[in-house]
Amino acid sequence: MILGRTVRDVPESEALDAVLGVCSANDVSARWWQKEGAGGQFCRGKSFDTFCPLGPRVVPISEIDDLQNLSIQSRVSGEVMQSSSTKLMNFTVAYLVAELSRSTTLCAGTVILTGTPSGVGHGRTPPRYLRAGDVVEVEIEGIGVLSNPVVNGCIGSV
pLDDT value at 101 more than 50:
yes
Domain range list for the chain: 2-155
pLDDT value at 124 more than 50:
yes
What does the mean pLDDT of the chain come to? 90
pLDDT in the model for residue 153: 60
Task: For residues 95-122, give the mean pLDDT.
Answer: 92
CATH topology for 2-155 is Fumarylacetoacetate hydrolase; domain 2 (3.90.850)
Q: How far apart are CA 148 and CA 70, in angstroms?
A: 21
pLDDT value at 48 more than 70:
yes
